Amino acid sequence: MSEPLLSVRRLSAGYGATTVVRELDLEVRAGESAVIIGPNGHGKTTLLRALNGLIRPSAGEVLLDGEEIAGRPSEQIARLGAVLVPQGDGLFPEMTVEDNLLMGAFLGQSWRDRRRSLAHVYDLFPGVKARADQQARTLSGGERRLSALGRALMRPSTILMIDEPSLGLAPVALDAVYGAIAELKSAKTTILLVEENFTHVGGIADSIHVLEMGSITRSGSYKELSEDEGVVAAYLGSIT
Amino acid sequence: MNEGHSRALFPDMTSGRWSLAVLVVLALAAFPLVESNQYILSVFVTTMILLVMNMSWNFILGVAGVWNFGQLAVYALGGYGAGILMLHTGLPPVLDVVVGGLIGAAVSVLMAVPTLRLFGIYTSLLTFAFAEIVQYLILNDGSGLTGGSYGFPSVKGLYSFLSPVASMHAYYWTLLGVIVASTVAIALVTRSRLGIALRAIRDAPAFAAARGVSPLRYRILAFGLSGFLAGIAGALYLCFEQSIDPSIMGLTPMSLDVTMLVIGGLGTIFGPAIGTTIVTVVETVLVNHPGVQLTVVGIFLLVIVVFVPGGIVGLVGKVRARLSAWAEEGEEEAEEPEATEGVAPAGGTAGALDPIAIHDTTGAPTDVAP
Amino acid sequence: MTDLVGILVTTVILGSIYGLVAIGMTLIYGTLRILDMSQGSMVMIGSFVGWGILVSAHWNPVLAIVFAFAATFVLGMMTQLVSVQPLMGRRKAIDFEMVTFITTFAVAMILENVALEVFGPQQRNVTPVVSGGVNVYHGVNLPYQSIAMAAISILLMGGLGLFLGKTRWGMAIRAVAQDLDAARLMGVPVSKLYPVTMGLASSLAGVAGVFLGAQFFAYPQAGDLPLLEALIVVVFGGLGSLPGTVYAAYVIGLIQATTEVFLGTTWSLPILYGVILFVLIFRPQGLLGKPSEARL
């Protein structure tokens, strides 16, 4: 086995005096799609924010492709190919959808490459293309999520992180979003995805990690964990 | 400047500090008896007048946290109001000064009403615009009421019946008395229900509103009090200078006053005194180099805001707190390693919602409840 | 009729130059959430650069504009690094706007008084960038200088619009203004972008200074009035709204031109402040500002 692409060791992070993520260990291999599930408030979003430099970890190390990134500012981590679709989508509300997408290609590309990526994203998400000239704040929740996902595809990623793609979406939009993620997985994109429960991730998860009280308490394949009664009772039954 | 009567009700006002405060006030009071240079005395008096004005501003800007940049207009209008009375009526001058204060309060309340809807930077723009209009109206007043840009016609002031030297002394002691009295008053008000409500509105408006603290009532009250003191200061300025003119308002005096407040420590009891003294000393020492003078003041301001957020009072408090923490650590190390850790609320927002934290933000080091 | 033409012409000229000074303030407020009180000093510096190059050195007017742009760009970047960058850690604090208001004010004080020490208090004539004029209507004489001033202002404002709308770095500035965290995730180097933004905004004021210097002399307090006028425009247009600022600049220009014709020059500022009082009391978010910005 080669080195893991992302390797997190004893990472702690939080806000002010409150530690949310505690001594967390995690590994994601290249090409793998890893899913973290866990209840709200147990540190999923905090973990992604810390991994992407939006908050400064208080302890621990994070290696991305062999480079230590813990404590670096997010613009530097982005340069190494980390891409995050943050909670709330993080679209620029007063920009058009197209400008939002173009911002996704901010890092080092020629204009033509940007246009090419744009065409690619529009191919992938025709619904986004239809909204190209609309201001992002006027979009519906599903359109917004797809636009954010599309923006994340505007530059090549070493790892694509997605914070709760199902959050607040209607079933139809949900299918579109997860359909897109499934396509990304089949294209061998390395994905680290966070969800509250098992419900939607069955088709895409290579590995599942349970995040409770700031640490990973269980790890395994989807199959292993979906047969674990404790895990299933906690994380499968909540959404009908 | 440590007249400590204000600490009368405070547990941390030890007898040692009391004596120090009384000593400082007595020394200041005795100063005119040993100093015969009238110029130096007049610098002291004008500085003290400015200090009264700064104390009034500090209350609204620092304690109430309302970004009022119109205070100099209130100050000026208090002076002009008292002057007009002095010139056209036969009221005793002391009453004119009191009425000047009342005019200040009225103007200030008038200014307060529109600011209730506004936040932060918008408040400062509104109040500043108000002050500019006042200045322009007076500058271009052709009716003869204010004297326009030439300044107010000469008035007699408070002590016209005394000899020049005696009158200088009288002003000196009057101002010292006013300062001691307003320091006590402001300290008491800051400690009172009103003060707590104001700081709650300043630090956590939503929390304060949820607790039923009405910004309307408390802010108008705060503006009124602050305006009264500013008006008194303006009237005293008029009396001492025997005139008043529009140049006491505007960008330059305002920037100096803001610097004094910020350097001393915004919202603290003794900050205005410390800041006013420091800036006045800088001004006096560099009086022949106007450019250098204000450059130094500007650098001072920048450095204090960036590196010493609480001003000099805050800095002294921090140093003292660290010293005593260090001393206590030495004593209690063996038994209680982490006594107070973990209770602290997380992050700034949570802190702002904590009523005890609101209490702490007065910045005065010794104010922290035991 | 002469009055009307005069008012219209003055409106365009005043509006353009106000717009140029104010648009920088809006750009800075929109991006950094600070009201940059040093913008007036940048106008003053621009005036002195204009004086130095046009009067002292007798160089080409184009050089005056270029040098003013460059000098105030650097100064603006330095202002950001000195008075704002060290405070960025406190940008979420409730008093951030107030604190930076004061620090930029301190910078203005320093610049103004360094100028006072270096150049002295006297007012210096700055040669117009272009001389001569044209009679547009009976009795309405329009100096070429004013035409150049309006034209360059409009050009620069348009250029800024294009820059922000179409270019990679311009879009990055907008992105930072709209969602800081998301912009960082896109890889925008925020700590470099902030000084550049402030330098850019300052340089627009600097260019305005070259023209205003010819209109009103170069002297240490030359920035005070433009600062006050820009403040009025910015509030009227709604803090942080670029199109609002441009509209507001011309509306304010119109109000001022009309006041000057019918009431005289001394009344123009008090009337404008009256307008501002009115706006703040009845429509605090200004012409195009978002209500949310007016409420924290």
Find, among B5, B9, B2, the residue nearest to B24 by Cα: B2
Identify residue B196 by its one-letter amino acid code: I
**Is B136–C97 a contact, with Cβ atoms under 8 angstroms apart?**
no
**Neighbour count for residue B149 (Cβ, 10 Å):** 12
pLDDT at C163: 92
C-alpha to C-alpha distances, B43 to B47, B72, B119, nearest whole angstrom: 6, 20, 37
CA distance C289 to chain B (A): 12
Query: Is C80 inside a domain boundary?
Result: yes
Interface of B with A in 155-184 (CB under 8 A): none
Query: Is C115 inside a domain boundary?
Result: yes
pLDDT at B190: 84
What is the interface size between B and C, counted as CB pairs within 8 Å?
Answer: 127
CA distance C62 to chain B (A): 31
Picking from A53, A83, A95, the nearest residue to C178 by CB comes out as A95
Cα separation, A6 vs A31, in Å, equals: 11
With contacts defined as CB-CB under 8 Å, which chain A residues touch C171?
Answer: 95, 99, 102-103, 106
**CATH number for position C207:** 1.10.3470
> Residue C137, SS3?
strand
In this prediction, what percent of chain C has a pLDDT beyond 90? 32
**Is A18–B344 a contact, with Cβ atoms under 8 angstroms apart?**
no
Provide the β-strand partners of residue A18.
Answer: A15
Query: Is C142 inside a domain boundary?
Result: no
DSSP B9: G
Burial degree of B260 (CB within 10 A; 0-12, 13-18, 19+): buried
**Choice among A200-209, B4-13, B348-357, C179-188 with the minimum mean pLDDT:** B348-357
Determine contact, residues C129/C54, Cβ cutoff 8 Å: yes
CA distance B260 to chain C (A): 12
Interface of A with B in 16-75 (CB under 8 A): 16-18
Q: Which pair of tokens denotes residue B249?
A: 């308002």
Which residue range(s) make up the domain with C110? 2-122+148-294
Q: For A29-47, how does the pLDDT look when each residue is reduced to its tens digit (9 = 90+)?
A: 998 999 998 888 888 899 9
Picking from B118, B129, B309, the nearest residue to C276 by CB comes out as B129
Interface of A with C in 48-67 (CB under 8 A): 52-54
Chains that touch A (3 or more CB pairs under 8 A): B, C
With contacts defined as CB-CB under 8 Å, which chain A residues touch C293?
Answer: none
**Is C185–A106 a contact, with Cβ atoms under 8 angstroms apart?**
no
Identify residue C254 by its one-letter amino acid code: L
Cα separation, B150 vs B247, in Å, equals: 10
CA distance C116 to chain B (A): 5
Structural domains of chain A sorted by starting position, each given as residue range(s) with its CATH number in brackets = 6-235 (3.40.50.300)
Beta strands in chain B (DSSP E): none
C-alpha to C-alpha distances, A118 to A107, C121, C178, nearest whole angstrom: 14, 58, 22
CA distance C26 to chain A (A): 16
Q: Quote the mean pLDDT of chain C.
A: 86
Query: Could you list the pLDDT tens digit for every one of the 370 residues in chain B?
Result: 444 444 445 545 667 777 888 888 899 888 888 888 889 899 999 999 999 999 999 999 888 888 889 999 999 999 999 999 998 888 888 999 999 999 999 999 998 888 877 777 788 888 888 888 888 888 888 788 888 888 888 888 888 888 888 999 999 999 999 999 998 888 888 888 888 888 888 877 777 777 877 777 888 899 999 999 999 999 999 999 999 999 898 888 888 898 899 888 888 888 898 899 999 898 888 888 878 888 888 898 899 888 887 788 888 888 888 888 887 776 654 444 433 333 333 333 333 333 333 333 333 333 333 3
pLDDT at B96: 92
Picking from A84, A93, A95, the nearest residue to C185 by CB comes out as A84
Identify residue A137 by its one-letter amino acid code: R
pLDDT at B9: 56
More confident: C240 or B253: B253
CA distance A23 to chain B (A): 18
**Neighbour count for residue C189 (Cβ, 10 Å):** 17
CA distance C51 to chain B (A): 20
In this prediction, what percent of chain C has a pLDDT beyond 70? 95
Identify residue C294 by its one-letter amino acid code: A
CA distance B350 to chain A (A): 10
**Is C182–A90 a contact, with Cβ atoms under 8 angstroms apart?**
yes
Determine contact, residues B296/B282, Cβ cutoff 8 Å: yes
Determine contact, residues A72/A52, Cβ cutoff 8 Å: no
Identify residue C169 by its one-letter amino acid code: W
Check if A75 contacts C (Cβ < 8 Å).
yes
pLDDT at B108: 94
With contacts defined as CB-CB under 8 Å, which chain A residues touch B338?
Answer: none
pLDDT at B332: 55
pLDDT at A180 over 70: yes
Check if C296 contacts B (Cβ < 8 Å).
yes
pLDDT at C275: 84
> How do beta strands A6-15 and A18-28 pair?
antiparallel
pLDDT at A142: 86
Per the listing, tokens 């404008």 go with C272
Q: Which residues contact C139 (CB under 8 A, 6 or more apart)?
A: C2, C6
Cα separation, C127 vs B127, in Å, equals: 37
> How do beta strands A159-163 and A59-64 pair?
unpaired
With contacts defined as CB-CB under 8 Å, which chain A residues touch B344?
Answer: 17
DSSP C52: I
With contacts defined as CB-CB under 8 Å, which chain B residues touch C90?
Answer: 309
**Is B125–C280 a contact, with Cβ atoms under 8 angstroms apart?**
yes
C-alpha to C-alpha distances, B59 to A20, A223, B56, B270, C285, nearest whole angstrom: 40, 67, 5, 11, 28
Per the listing, tokens 């303030």 go with C25
Interface of C with B in 74-103 (CB under 8 A): 82-83, 86-87, 90, 92-95, 97-99, 101-103
Chains that touch B (3 or more CB pairs under 8 A): A, C
- Phi/psi at C286 (nearest 5 deg)? 75, -165
pLDDT at A215 over 80: yes
Residue A20: closest CA among chain B residues belongs to which residue?
B346
pLDDT at C296 over 70: no
Determine contact, residues B229/B74, Cβ cutoff 8 Å: no
pLDDT at C293: 42
Helices and strands (DSSP H and E) totals, chain C: 12, 2
Q: Which pair of tokens denotes residue C29?
A: 């407020």
Q: Which pair of tokens denotes residue B354?
A: 């904590």
**Total domain count for chain C?**
1
Find, among B151, B251, B279, the residue nearest to C220 by Cα: B251
Cα separation, C265 vs B39, in Å, equals: 40
pLDDT at C121 over 60: yes
Q: Quote the mean pLDDT of chain A.
A: 86
In this prediction, what percent of chain A has a pLDDT beyond 90? 19
CA distance B336 to chain A (A): 20
- Structure ipTM: 0.89
How many residues in total does chain C contain?
296
Determine contact, residues B305/C106, Cβ cutoff 8 Å: yes
Check if C126 contacts B (Cβ < 8 Å).
no
Helix axes C190-216, C61-79, angle to 10 degrees: 140
Q: Identify the H or E element spanning A59.
A: strand A59-64
Q: Which residues contact B174 (CB under 8 A, 6 or more apart)?
A: B158, B236
Check if A15 contacts B (Cβ < 8 Å).
yes
**Is B255–C109 a contact, with Cβ atoms under 8 angstroms apart?**
yes
Chains that touch C (3 or more CB pairs under 8 A): A, B
**Is A16–B342 a contact, with Cβ atoms under 8 angstroms apart?**
no
pLDDT at C89: 78
Query: Is C131 inside a domain boundary?
Result: no
Q: Identify the H or E element spanning A12.
A: strand A6-15
Cα separation, C76 vs C59, in Å, equals: 24
Q: Which pair of tokens denotes residue C75?
A: 């100064």
**Neighbour count for residue B131 (Cβ, 10 Å):** 26
> Residue B58, SS3?
helix
CA distance B183 to chain C (A): 25
Q: For A70-120, how does the pLDDT look when each residue is reduced to its tens digit (9 = 90+)?
A: 889 999 999 998 999 998 889 998 899 999 999 988 886 677 788 888 998
Check if B340 contacts A (Cβ < 8 Å).
no
pLDDT at B331: 62
- Boundaries of every domain in chain B: 25-249, 252-334+345-370
**Is B342–A15 a contact, with Cβ atoms under 8 angstroms apart?**
no
Check if B298 contacts C (Cβ < 8 Å).
yes
Check if C263 contacts B (Cβ < 8 Å).
no
Q: Which residues contact B355 (CB under 8 A, 6 or more apart)?
A: B200
**Is B301–C109 a contact, with Cβ atoms under 8 angstroms apart?**
yes
Find, among A71, A74, A65, A24, the residue nearest to A44 by Cα: A24
